[in-house]
Structure 1
Amino acid sequence: MHIATIFIAFALLTGCMGAEAQKENNNDNSKIKSMDTSKLSNPTVKEAFQAWQAGDSTLWLSYFTPDAQLLDDGHPRDFQNFSREAIGHERFTSIDIVKDTGRSIYGKFHSDTWGNFKTYFKFHLDAHNKIYKLEIGQADY
């Protein structure tokens, strides 16, 4: 009987520890909002990225033209709806590659809905440094 009690206690203890460790791991992964953005050389992109990471939809939208376009893996999507739904629930967890004079960002990404994956954000700016098109999608690098 003593062995059974020890076994039950051990099973309960390891089960609780496993759940706590899993919860902690998920929190660590999903709460990364700020990071080193020194690789981002385009000021508009850098500021928009920081607004995205902070979950500030008002500031994020201020960097875009009113009729900004969104392409998701090459398919048109409603930019305003995407921004409302994703900001605060999706974020980069690393910046791995920056291209196109600082206008394209590739990195690891966390979505509360879709999990973790590699992605890209490609910003297209007009003559007034407003973003008129954003291309996003899963990256393979």
Structure 2
Amino acid sequence: MTIQTTRLSDPAVRAFVAAVNAHDREAFMELLAPGATMADDGSDRDLDDWIDREIFSTHGHMEVDRESNGGRALIARYSNDTWGEMRTRWTFTVEDDGKISRFETEQA
């Protein structure tokens, strides 16, 4: 059963999912702390390159099935025009100011 984005527990993660699904790169970038990092399948990636390739140029979309760790860990069905749909795990590091300093994703 999908969790509605508006019901996700962590405000930063909720805004992250909303920005991905709205294809709003500007809102997405505003959520990130300066120098934010990310990893895909255990390997650090260039953040700007990855989000353009995996989210914004390919219509990325997240349907969240489960959350844990106070809403900072998600199991979601992620889809984009390149890969279709896959079951993914996302984890987020959110700083005291509410900005995301790191996110990691991998197949679940």
Larger radius of gyration: 1
**Alignment-derived partner of residue 107 in structure 1:** 76
What is the rounded CA distance, in whole Å, between the counterparts of 1:74 and 1:85 in structure 2? 18
**Highest RCO, 1 vs 2 (Cα 8 Å, sep ≥ 6):** 2
TM-score normalized with structure 1 length: 0.68
In structure 1, the gaps of 5 or more residues are 1-34
Q: Does 1:95 align with 2:35?
A: no
Counterparts in 2 of 1:29-40, with a 5 A limit? 36-40=4-8
Please, which of 48, 65, 76 is the counterpart of residue 16 of structure 2? 48
Q: Which has the higher strand share?
A: 2
- Is 1:138 the counterpart of 2:107 in the alignment? yes
Would the aligned equivalents of 1:39 and 1:98 in 2 still touch at CA under 8 Å?
no
Segments of structure 2 that go 5 or more residues without pairing to the other structure are none
Equivalent AA in structure 2 for residue 110 of structure 1: S
Q: Provide TM-score, normalisation by structure 2.
A: 0.87
Paired residues for 1:1-141 under 5 Å: 36-88=4-56, 89=58, 90-92=60-62, 94-139=63-108
CA distance in 2, matches of 1:87, 1:104: 19
Where 2:5 maps in the other structure, the secondary structure is: coil
Q: Any conservation in 1 of the 2:55–2:80 contact (CA below 8 Å)?
A: no
Give the letter aligned to residue 108 of structure 1. Answer: R
RMSD: 1.5
Q: What's the secondary structure of 1:113's corresponding residue?
A: coil
Paired residues, what number?
104
Identity level (%): 29
SS at match of 1:97: strand
Is the helix fraction higher in 1 or 2?
A: 1
